[in-house]
């Protein structure tokens, strides 16, 4: 799933396919540049953004990528990725977050 494309953004970002079914190993990709796992973004979002800004500067990339505005835009895409992963992998049951696979199935009715 793409969060941004170069036609409307300085970033091309997407949820990349992962060989793992584990939530912490889902991948957010900044195309041709850098990828982060769900866990990295969930628990260290600001550090990930600082890392991107540093890499953009070190690689002497386009000034548009270094702007505070473009970093805020990237943060929005990362936050949307976190939300989507959590929505896909987890539900809340009795105030505990559980993977969908282990949630008890309630089919309704008296059967």
Render 10-68 in DSSP notation, one character per residue.
S--EEEE--S---GGG-EEEETTTEEEEHHHHHHHHHHHHHHHHHHHHHTT--HHHHSH
Higher pLDDT, 27 or 107: 27
The two beta strands, 27-30 and 34-37, are: antiparallel
* pLDDT band of 102, cuts 50, 70, 90: very low
pLDDT band at 101 (very low <50, low <70, confident <90, very high): low
CA distance 79 to 81: 5
pTM over 0.85: no
What pLDDT digit, counting tens, does each position of 55-95 carry? Answer: 887 766 667 777 889 999 999 999 999 999 888 877 544 55
Residue 56 CB coordination number (10 Å): 23
CA 29 to CA 84: how far, in whole Å? 14
Lookup: tokens for 25: 């190993």
CB 82 within 8 A of CB 38: yes
Average pLDDT over residues 20-49: 91
């Amino acid at each position: 799933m793409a969060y941004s494309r170069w036609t409307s953004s300085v970033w091309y970002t997407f949820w990349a396919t992962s060989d793992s079914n584990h939530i912490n190993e889902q991948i957010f990709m900044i195309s041709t540049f850098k990828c982060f796992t769900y866990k990295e973004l969930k628990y260290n979002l600001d550090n990930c953004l600082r890392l991107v800004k540093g890499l953009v500067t070190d690689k002497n990339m386009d000034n548009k990528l270094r702007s505070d505005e473009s970093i805020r835009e990237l943060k929005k895409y990362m936050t949307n990725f976190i939300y989507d992963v959590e929505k896909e992998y987890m539900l809340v049951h009795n105030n505990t977050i559980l993977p969908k696979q282990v949630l008890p199935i309630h089919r309704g009715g008296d059967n």
